Amino acid sequence: MARQVVVTGVGLVSAVGNGTEETWAALLAGTNGVGRITAFDTEKFDCKIAAEVKNFDPLNFIEKKEVKKMGRFIHFAIAASDFAMKQSGLQATPETAERIGTYIASGIGGFDVIEREHSKLIESGPSRISPFFIPGTIINLASGHVSIRFGAKGPNSATATACSAGAHAIGDSFRLIQHGYADAMICGGSEAAITPMSVGGFAAMRALSTRNDDPTHASRPFDKDRDGFIIGEGAGILILEELEFARRRGAKIIAEMIGYGMSSDAFHITQPCEDGDGAYRVMRNAIQDGGLKPADVSYVNAHGTSTPYNDKFETIALKRAFGEAAKTVAVSSTKSMTGHLLGGAGGLEAGISVLALRDQVIPPTMNYTTPDPDCDLDYVPNQPRKAALNVVLSNSFGFGGTNGALLFKRWQ
């Protein structure tokens, strides 16, 4: 019989807050984290806007001599893990260390380091490449550093499944605990892809918004005038624990995780299925895994990227998955404020989903002003909503047609 899994900690770093409660309060206030890019000169770029993490100092979390050994996505992962671990009170002891694991995803990893070191190679030759180039960039080093930091000697892994990566890391961690391979997992996703190559690459695909003259209104999921997504950065980390393990140490339980779904569109390298089939099946799988019916779900934190295709086809998928209940389930996209964290999105939005359950309030979809006939559900426009939330579903869909959905339940 599968073991019960609970959430005891949430750690968030985002464009609207350096910390869990700061981020959560900003989302409920409708704060927008999108602005002109400051990380590099955007004069020659079609897209000049992003959701950058502001006033973040890695020295608040990491020793100075260690900072330069890591890409920015690792800095965010460590900071978010610190917030989550402090909230949970979890500690690895000689008796528990081998039963505590880490599983932290990223879609792109250390692009900032890759671009910097490549410039050194071109300008000065290979002798100038940093010895920390490889460990500063590879995706599993976020999980590796967190494992070392907290002495977690259990499973140590990472996913790189594009924009589903954070959700997959949490879902896989859920399975590891359910089936007895770990008692606790530090899991989620982190991303820091606001770099020239990344922004230029996504712009070349015509995936990004070019509402450069109005950045705070550029990310507008489900709105008729949406024109592309906004790259965001940051991290979201959950502490998952087996119920009795958490109880024995007197942990405060925030929510229960009850379901995990995966699916593949098997359709196109970037475009979602026109009938929403992959997204429909991943939601169905998560809800069935939790032993529930669609009508049991109170709120969906949508993938909601603000791209014309994603939002239309996710709406179609929601209607297929929920049937008549689609008319009443609340749906919102917090990417309207945080931007799209790519591989970190599933971690951030899982944390937001858990906090929604904790406080019984739904964060809004901001910038929803012009209804789209193709997107006709209840998107909780522009204002948070107090609600009796019992079950929350968090969606993540990635390039390559890879999908993940996480199901959380209120803890009583």
Residues marked as catalytic? 163, 303, 340
Axis crossing angle, helix 141-150 with helix 72-88, rounded to the nearest 10: 40
User: Is the four-CA dihedral 229, 233, 234, 236 of positive or negative sign?
Assistant: positive
Vertex 4: Cα angle to 314 and 162 (nearest 5): 35
202 close to 119: Cβ distance less than 8 angstroms: no
- How many residues comprise the chain? 412
CA atoms within 13 A on the CB side of 361: 12
The pair of structure tokens assigned to 124 is 């000065």
Cβ atoms of residues 303 and 333 within 8 Å: yes
- Please name which of 254, 406, 408, 278 lies closest in space to residue 345, comparing C-alpha atoms: 406
C-alpha span between 380 and 350 (Å, rounded)? 18
C-beta separation of 10 from 238 below 8 A? yes
Determine the Cα–Cα distance for residues 302 and 73; give it in Å rounded to an integer.
23
CA–CA dist 204, 307 (Å, integer): 15
Strand ranges (DSSP E) for 197-282? 234-242, 255-264
Cβ atoms 23, 17 nearer than 8 A: yes
Q: Distance (Å, rounded) from C-alpha 21 to C-alpha 29?
A: 12
Q: Are 73 and 104 in contact (CB under 8 A)?
A: no
| In contact, 138 and 109? CB cutoff 8 Å | yes
Q: How many CA atoms lie within 13 A of 214 on its CB side?
A: 9
Chain Cα centroid distance, residue 273: 22
